[in-house]
Structure 1
Amino acid sequence: MSPLRVLELYSGIGGMHCGLAESAVPAEVVAAVDVNTTANQVYKYNFPDTPLWTKTIEGISLKEFDDLAFDMLLMSPPCQPFTRIGLQGDVTDPRARSFLYILDILPRLQKPPMYILLENVKGFESSIARENLVTALLRCGYRYQEFLLSPTCLGIPNSRLRYFLIAKLQKEEFSFQVTNQLLEDFPTCFGLVSSSTTHSSSRNVNADLDLKSTLSDPPRDPKQDTSFLYKLETPEELERKQSQDNDSSIRTLDEFLEKNIGDINQYFLPSRSLLRYALILDIVQPSSRRSTCFTKGYGHYVEGTGSVLQTATDVEISSAYEALETVTEEEKLAKLSTLKMRYFTPREIANLHGFPPQFGFPEKTTTKQCYRLLGNSLNVHIVAKLITVLLQSH
């Protein structure tokens, strides 16, 4: 069997490429396309032999697509038109224009790709863009299956709920019975692990809740709500976190942490962040089996951008937070500092995303740029698993 010719659109830093490599499917990425200069530098650093097209997708002609003669299409279209904390402009958002162009091109290709894998945010599944996608797929003769998946379903302690779609031309059957429902786990050769559209899976519901905050929201005032515990969380939220930490099917964060960090001081939370955002931090420990979704604002914004790590594991969080609102600012800072809280490093987030150990960033890439790029990326292990499922046959 000759290697599959793969086209990677919206290639970013190469998460799809890493997933393809992990799947061990004989394949060659014949072109990767992205306009983000910093992302392209990282992609080229890791995949120097892959042709990288630094042009808009709308700038690629039908003939150029045909000349690539690709068998598989991998793509992660811009998520901003569909994210639930954005304006939800959907197909009217200018950033959706390139995706609509792909849907227009697809039926006109001389040889449509046998396989397609698409990733986007939760919310895409109810968009007009998704309806247009399905219409185009059916018009071209594809079978497809949709998913809402979080890395927790693979035992990874990170909530990152995302929409995925896999499709193949009808002349080749799927290895499982497709359904019009959104699957919340991977199908197996014995049938479907899960086929719920009501999000009954507690792991995915929990992942969904991680995205409830916006980056621009001001800190909430604890005096306005007396139902919170010592932090700004309800008893139900605390119980949910404890339940996640007791789930032995999820690995502990310690397995994903760097053992030797060069300049670790740059990752400790500054005093101003501790004082202003103490009550809304999502604090985890190396022994925890959970972390919230890391976004592109991590390390710059605090609320809703990802968990922070308590490195002083011999200190109880409750003792540091006890009577926090009644002490002076100096005493408050002293109490919080005992927890030694820091941000996850870019390498640690890359580990949680499934990027292999050899994946790296060019030396001139700043920490802030790394956080932004990783926040826009996806989970490599999920992509690898879906590619395996996509290529399996009866």
Structure 2
Amino acid sequence: MAALRVLELYSGIGGMHQALRESCTYAEVVAAVDVNTLANDVYKHNFPNTPLWAKTIEGITLQEFDRLSFDMILMSPPCQPFTRIGLQGDVADPRTKSFLYILDILPRLQKLPKYLLLENVKGFESSSARNQLLQTLTTCGFKYQEFLLSPTCLGIPNSRLRYFLIAKLHHEPFSFQSPGQILTRFPDQDPEDLLKEKVADKVGETSFSLSSEEKNLDPNIGPDCSSKKNLPKGAFLFKLETVEEMERKCDQDNDSSIQMLKDFLEEENEEMSQYFLPPKSLLRYAFLLDIVKPICRRSTCFTKGYGHYVEGTGSVLQTAVDVELESVFKHIDNLPEEEKLMKLSTLKLRYFTPREIANLHGFPLEFGFPEKVTVKQCYRLLGNSLNVHVVAKLISILLE
């Protein structure tokens, strides 16, 4: 049997390639295409035998595509035109140009690929680009299914909700196909897992501001799940979190179907000192941090700004596991800056290391970064990447 010929577009550091390997598919990536020089260096470091085209997709002619004679397309187009915190320029955003070029090329290929998989951010499902994609697939004779999935549905303690589409060039539909619906779980999952997924991916999505009245709430009430039940709906706790937010976090931490973070962490050592939050960040962002312990079963989505920006870019790890958060935050606003910093420092908060984020994303230990790539660059590259385990399962489903 001949190996499946795969074209990897917007290849980045190679998350799709790694997922293809994990799916145990007999396949060969005939070309990987990306213009990001640094990402390409990481890709070549891990997949040295794969032809890597450092050029724009629009710069590839129809004839060049035809010569590759590929059976499958894996792609993760730029997400900025569709992200909730971006301008949501959609098809008017110049960064969508290459994707629209692919949609124009696809029907004109001498041989249509048999399979296609696409990943993007939540928000893509309501875009004009998505509508054009579905129209093109239908015109070409593809059957497709859309998903909104997060690693939490595979028991991984990281919320990273993403849009996925799988398509195949066959007359019969997928056995599980739900026309017009976007599935929020894998076909073989228990429907009850749907509720868990919704809970997991609401964590960390809301930003809060603290009013003077809210600051005067009972400071003795902390994250203990039993004590907060008596608070009025929408009340704030010792940090900038509502009762509902704390309940969601407690529910997820009590969900034994999700692994603990400690299974993904590196061993603490002297080199970890570079990852501890600096005093300035502690003082400025203490009430905005999503703080997790190694025994937690959750973490918020790590973005490309992690380690550089603090707010909303990902969880931070409390390494002083025996220190109670409420004992630190109680009355902390009334303290002088020096005492406030001393109390916050007792938590020993640090950023997750790039290796730990790679572990949560499903990259195996043998996947590495060239020595010249800085920590900040690693965070940026990983923040732009995807979850390998989720994509590997979708590839397996696609090829069933």
TM-score by length of structure 1 reads 0.93
Q: 1:223 aligns with which of 212, 222, 243?
A: 212
**What is the one-letter code of the residue matched to 1:203?**
E
Aligned counterpart, 1:361: 369
Q: Aligned runs of 1:220-369 on 2, under 5 Å?
A: 220-223=209-212, 225-226=214-215, 227-261=235-269, 263-369=271-377
1:167 has 2:143 as partner = no
**What is the one-letter code of the residue matched to 1:369?**
Q
Q: Distance in 1 between matches of 2:20 and 2:269?
A: 29
Aligned counterpart, 2:222: none
Q: Distance in 1 between matches of 2:354 and 2:150?
A: 20
1:79 has 2:71 as partner = no
Range with greater deviation from structure 2 (43-52 or 253-262): 253-262
Deviation at 1:381, TM superposition (A): 0.1
Aligned counterpart, 1:386: 394
Deviation at 1:249, TM superposition (A): 0.4
1:29 has 2:44 as partner = no
1:273-301: CA deviation from partner (whole Å, max 9, x where unpaired): 00000001100000000000000000010
Q: Distance in 2 between matches of 1:186 and 1:206?
A: 16
- Which SS does the other structure have where 2:6 is aligned? strand
Q: 2:195 aligns with which of 190, 194, 201?
A: 201
Aligned counterpart, 2:114: 114
Q: Distance in 1 between matches of 2:25 and 2:338?
A: 57
Root-mean-square deviation (CA, aligned residues, Å) is 1.7
- Which SS does the other structure have where 1:48 is aligned? coil
**What is the one-letter code of the residue matched to 1:210?**
G
Asked if the contact 1:159–1:290 (Cα under 8 Å) also holds between the matched residues in 2, the reply is yes
Aligned counterpart, 1:126: 126
1:34-69: CA deviation from partner (whole Å, max 9, x where unpaired): 001110000000000000000000000000000000
Q: Decide whether aligned partners of structure 1 residues 176 and 97 sit closer, same or farther in structure 2, where only a CA change above 3 A counts.
A: same
1:172-222: CA deviation from partner (whole Å, max 9, x where unpaired): 65343443211111112xxx74499xxx63423541553445xxxxx9455
Q: Aligned runs of 1:134-149 on 2, under 5 Å?
A: 134-149=134-149
Q: Distance in 2 between matches of 1:260 and 1:330?
A: 27
1:327-361: CA deviation from partner (whole Å, max 9, x where unpaired): 11011000011110100000000000000110000
Deviation at 1:386, TM superposition (A): 0.2
- Which SS does the other structure have where 2:201 is aligned? helix
Q: Decide whether aligned partners of structure 1 residues 261 and 390 sit closer, same or farther in structure 2, where only a CA change above 3 A counts.
A: farther
Asked if the contact 2:362–2:388 (Cα under 8 Å) also holds between the matched residues in 1, the reply is yes
Asked if the contact 1:146–1:164 (Cα under 8 Å) also holds between the matched residues in 2, the reply is yes
**What is the one-letter code of the residue matched to 1:105?**
I
**What is the one-letter code of the residue matched to 1:143?**
K
Aligned counterpart, 1:210: 204
1:15 has 2:15 as partner = yes
**What is the one-letter code of the residue matched to 2:283?**
L
> Where in structure 1 are there 5+ consecutive unaligned residues?
214-218
**What is the one-letter code of the residue matched to 1:233?**
E
Q: Distance in 2 between matches of 1:350 and 1:337?
A: 27
Q: Decide whether aligned partners of structure 1 residues 53 and 211 sit closer, same or farther in structure 2, where only a CA change above 3 A counts.
A: farther
Q: Distance in 1 between matches of 2:255 and 2:199?
A: 15
Q: Distance in 2 between matches of 1:305 and 1:153?
A: 21
TM-score by length of structure 2 reads 0.92
Q: Distance in 1 between matches of 2:340 and 2:211?
A: 15
Asked if the contact 2:149–2:161 (Cα under 8 Å) also holds between the matched residues in 1, the reply is yes
**What is the one-letter code of the residue matched to 1:187?**
P
Q: Distance in 1 between matches of 2:292 and 2:340?
A: 20
- Which SS does the other structure have where 1:74 is aligned? strand
- Which SS does the other structure have where 1:389 is aligned? helix
> Where in structure 2 are there 5+ consecutive unaligned residues?
216-234
Asked if the contact 2:143–2:168 (Cα under 8 Å) also holds between the matched residues in 1, the reply is yes
Equivalent residues, number: 381
Q: Decide whether aligned partners of structure 1 residues 84 and 205 sit closer, same or farther in structure 2, where only a CA change above 3 A counts.
A: farther
**What is the one-letter code of the residue matched to 1:155?**
G
Asked if the contact 2:203–2:248 (Cα under 8 Å) also holds between the matched residues in 1, the reply is no
Asked if the contact 1:268–1:343 (Cα under 8 Å) also holds between the matched residues in 2, the reply is yes
- Which SS does the other structure have where 1:120 is aligned? strand
Q: Decide whether aligned partners of structure 1 residues 146 and 205 sit closer, same or farther in structure 2, where only a CA change above 3 A counts.
A: farther
Deviation at 1:2, TM superposition (A): 1.0
Asked if the contact 1:185–1:195 (Cα under 8 Å) also holds between the matched residues in 2, the reply is no
Q: Distance in 1 between matches of 2:296 and 2:283?
A: 24
